[in-house]
Structure 1
Amino acid sequence: MQRGPQVGWSSFIRSGGVYQFDTDLDDGGNFDATRATIQAGHGYAWDDRTSVSLALGYSYDGYSFSGDTGIAAIAPWENINTFSLSLPMRWGIGDNWSAFLIPSIRSTGESSANFDDTITGGGFIGAAYRFGERLTIGPGIGVVSQLEDNATIFPILIIDWKITDRLSLDTGRGLGATLGPGLALNYRANQSWNFAFGGRYEKLRFRLDKNGVVPNGIGEDKTFPVYAGCTYYISPKTNVSLIAGVELGGELKLEDRDGNRLSKEAYDPGGFLGLTFSMRL
């Protein structure tokens, strides 16, 4: 869980890029992926527990397949674009409770996909209780509609635990258009440096090109990345981070336009390296 925002009007911008190195597919061949994201928002905070903001985001996921068998042989997708709009809200209830609501809508698909067929929506809701100055914890749930599939429903642990003055555990933030819960363990070495270790479930589901190998089909990339990272604070409101990790339990899925499965392949653990930037105004 993120710390409360500054009182009054404020803006933020976050961006980043990740490269996933060549990863072998179970049925032969391999792929690599280049991912980039940018998100900007503007909001108002009445106090450190009550705020509302509007956030706009764009993410790019570029895949390159190589091989003569399985999914790699047909290279069913290449460049995935995601546009998102969300309205994060947070408010205090009494002295110790806080509630959270984040409705969102997004479009995820290849450039030539029919726009109307790329749209999904949903949100996250939760509540947390503050047990003194060091621990805030509570349950949450995410519900997000899926292209040609049932809505995804998943639990979220909202936590902000200051284990010591330097060590903390909190709800981790993902990169880009993927969705799913996560956790991050942080070590604040000093005012300038923070080190983290974390993991999260990620799922990216998208509409394919209307003129592609599977016209108007569905692609999916599901994985559980674990990572280590270091963050340098240029100022209290501006930081850059270097992250490195491994994608575990990865799986690619290809479906027709109605959501009927055509192919599913697991892939080996794949390394990734990334850089992120964050600034509040």
Structure 2
Amino acid sequence: MAKPLHSRVNINPSIVCIGLMPLLSYSVFAAEPRQEYKPFKVSVSQISTQSANVANGETELQRDSLLLNAGVTMPLSKQWSVGMRLGYDRLDYDWRNIRLTGANNTAALFSDAGASWENIDRYRASVSVNYRMDKHWSFMFSPQIQYAYADTASASNAQSYGVVASAMYAFESGNMLGVGVAYLNDIDEVRTLPYLAVSWQINDRWRLANPFQAGFSGPAGLELSYQFNPAWNVGLGNSRRTERFLIADDETVVETNEWVSYLRAGWRVTPAIALNLYAGYYFNGELEVTDEAALDLDNQGAAALDLEFRF
């Protein structure tokens, strides 16, 4: 019998990066020439997966996600800077051939009448305070809040909050390593994520870095990228992704956990515009429902597009 979700506290030593779903958070461009500072960033991302069987049965799930992000970073002095990030995500869960009885059923995900939930709204906000002590050490503190709920629940019961804190060391080469912890009081569950952050320029072409921002969507993973020229690069990455949201106001929560590997092609169209295309593969996935055993989610392919503007 699986332990109820509300009683679990996860300690996950996975690699994550500093800051605040699914596949995308921000693009990675290595060895870029110094450009005019642009404090504002806006991005639009679309992710689509193949249909996957749930609980090794007939029920199928196909997902589409639209992610909107806006952020700003402002220096206050040589040592201090602050940032703010806002986001809205629309997650569409397309259920097919729902099986409520018999072997390999998915009744735990739905009401007794079989009514399904299909759309999830997720609102995100975070503030970060950064302090650079000297040429080597820098520190970050970032509180964050999130509301994530299906069309069968209300926002008032879907609040999550947390904080990310870190310390990073910059070597003489400019490469950086850091450690920190993310404390996340998610819907009906507390998660604590120790993490290691890395930004390492191996040579003029190769770079190892965290491709995503840490937070409620889980660890940030690692990406190895190769820079062909100032405009084009490719990357190969891997990360564990989490989505947790309310599906009923009686504190019934669904959580998806899965790994994703991907190949990315990035194009710096102009100094202010970047485009990234992703081909990914989700694997070792599962869906958990409050007080129920986890249901297996079959492996599936995915594709994504991310467009970013800086100004």
CA distance in 2, matches of 1:184, 1:20: 21
Q: CA deviation at 1:76?
A: 4.5
Residue 36 of structure 1 pairs with residue 66 of structure 2: yes
So what's the TM-score if we normalise by structure 1?
A: 0.87
133 and 236 in structure 1: CA distance in 2 versus 1, 3 angstrom threshold: farther
Whether contact under 8 Å (1:25, 1:267) holds in the other structure is yes
6 and 217 in structure 1: CA distance in 2 versus 1, 3 angstrom threshold: farther
Q: CA deviation at 1:44?
A: 0.9
Pairwise CA RMSD: 2.6
1:6-53, CA deviations, whole angstroms, 9 ceiling, x for partnerless residues?
897721101101001111223312211001100112331246874211
CA distance in 2, matches of 1:57, 1:176: 13
Residue 268 of structure 1 pairs with residue 281 of structure 2: no
Residue 141 of structure 1 pairs with residue 181 of structure 2: yes
Tell me the amino acid that sits aligned with residue 99 of structure 1: F
CA distance in 1, matches of 2:218, 2:45: 16
**Matched residue SS, 2:106:** helix
1:201-245, CA deviations, whole angstroms, 9 ceiling, x for partnerless residues?
1111111144xxxx6521111111111100110112320100011
So what's the TM-score if we normalise by structure 2?
A: 0.79
CA distance in 2, matches of 1:63, 1:42: 31
Partner of 2:95: 65
122 and 233 in structure 1: CA distance in 2 versus 1, 3 angstrom threshold: same
Whether contact under 8 Å (1:19, 1:33) holds in the other structure is yes
Map 1:46-85 onto structure 2 (within 5 A). Answer: 46=76, 50-67=80-97, 68=99, 69-71=104-106, 74=114, 76-85=116-125
**Matched residue SS, 2:294:** strand
CA distance in 1, matches of 2:118, 2:293: 17
CA distance in 1, matches of 2:225, 2:79: 22
Partner of 2:39: 10
Number of residues of Structure 1 aligned to a counterpart in Structure 2: 270
Whether contact under 8 Å (1:7, 1:47) holds in the other structure is no
**Which stretch shows the higher mean deviation, 267-276 or 133-142?**
133-142
Tell me the amino acid that sits aligned with residue 15 of structure 1: V
Partner of 1:247: 282
Residue 21 of structure 1 pairs with residue 61 of structure 2: no
Tell me the amino acid that sits aligned with residue 51 of structure 1: S
Whether contact under 8 Å (1:20, 1:272) holds in the other structure is yes
Q: 1:206 aligns with which of 241, 245, 268?
A: 245
Whether contact under 8 Å (2:117, 2:151) holds in the other structure is no
**Matched residue SS, 2:156:** helix
Residue 122 of structure 1 pairs with residue 162 of structure 2: yes
CA distance in 2, matches of 1:226, 1:75: 33
CA distance in 2, matches of 1:207, 1:197: 33
Q: CA deviation at 1:265?
A: 0.7
Identity of aligned residues (%): 22
1:93-145, CA deviations, whole angstroms, 9 ceiling, x for partnerless residues?
11211112221001010134232210000021111111122421011211111
Whether contact under 8 Å (1:6, 1:48) holds in the other structure is no
Whether contact under 8 Å (2:117, 2:152) holds in the other structure is no
**Matched residue SS, 2:39:** strand
Unaligned runs of 5+ in 1: 256-260
